[in-house]
Amino acid sequence: MRQKIVAGNWKMHKNAEETEDLLNELIDKIPTDLDQRVIVAPTFVNLSAAADHLEFTPIEVAAQNMHQAEGGAFTGEISAGMLESVGVRIVILGHSERRAYFHETDALLAAKVDTALKHEMEVIFCFGEELKDRHAGQHFNVVENQLKDGLFHLEASAWKNIILAYEPVWAIGTGETASPEQAQEMHEFIRDIIRKNYGNTVAEDVSILYGGSVKPENAAEIFSKPDVDGGLIGGAALKSDDFTKIVLAI
């Protein structure tokens, strides 16, 4: 069933103490009786502590990345089994910063998705066009190819563990958000291509989040669009007041 979700991607911010402080603030401020899911993704080094801290709260914890192998000689990497072992059941894959700075390709991401799903983890799969693609009128093609190459090898039954996050690269950390109409137009397109490939049930059930400069001031309008099921929040997820307002804007 389609869910409303607000997720905070903390990126490379917050040391151990700051992580604990922000989690405490969120636990205090976010009501416990919400229908929407609330997810936070601290850095790897603080994940285990965060998972422990959030264990008896409704706030869920996600990793920002994961390696595709089960284990082995991959210095600096983290496996799905390791995430599971500290209570992390959700992973963000394909963030544009991973794609751009760490050269993660659609084929690599498809392998990561497979590994995560084998471990019955949920995947928040990120994708989105760059500004040059939009200027060239290629944004729909780019998004379709990212989905096709990263996810469309999956069986329909696997989609219950997939959350999509459309994040136009030009709107990430720039203060320039897609307009609610641009977000709705793309989300509707995404749901349509999923419908074509997998049928109506999968298309209607999948949650599609928008990410890119979501703030307390613009969240409600973006979330009001019928095909926008929530947000993946960067900068504004680092301040408990702002993140709480965004969570409550849905």
| The two structure tokens encoding residue 191 | 């749901």
**Residue 155 annotated in active site:** no
Q: Give the x-and-dash track for 147-186 against ligand 13P (CB under 6 A).
A: --------------------x----xx-------------
Query: CB 100: neighbour CB atoms within 10 A?
Result: 12
In whole angstroms, how close is the CB of 213 to ligand 13P at the nearest point?
A: 4
In whole angstroms, how close is the CB of 163 to ligand 13P at the nearest point?
A: 12
In whole angstroms, how close is the CB of 234 to ligand 13P at the nearest point?
A: 2
Closest Cα partner for 81 from 37, 89, 153, 73?
Answer: 89
Stretch that binds ligand 13P, among 102-110, 179-187, 202-210, 229-237 (CB under 6 A): 229-237
DSSP 8-state class, residue 163: E
Stretch that binds ligand 13P, among 103-111, 140-148, 188-196, 233-241 (CB under 6 A): 233-241
Q: Residue type for 146, please? A: Q
**Residue 135 annotated in active site:** no
**What span, in angstroms and rounded, lies between the C-alpha atoms of 4 and 209?**
9
The reply to whether 31 sits near ligand 13P by the rule CB under 6 A is no
* 54 vs 178 by CB, closer to ligand 13P: 178
| The two structure tokens encoding residue 197 | 């490939």
**What span, in angstroms and rounded, lies between the C-alpha atoms of 58 and 61?**
10
Cβ(211)–Cβ(166) below 8 Å: yes
**What span, in angstroms and rounded, lies between the C-alpha atoms of 57 and 53?**
8
DSSP 8-state class, residue 137: T
The reply to whether 95 sits near ligand 13P by the rule CB under 6 A is yes
In Å, the largest CA–CA distance within the chain is 48
Stretch that binds ligand 13P, among 72-80, 184-192, 219-227, 231-239 (CB under 6 A): 231-239
* 184 vs 234 by CB, closer to ligand 13P: 234
Give the active site residues: 95, 167
Which spans of this chain sit near ligand 13P (rule: CB under 6 A)?
9, 95, 167, 172-173, 211-214, 232-236
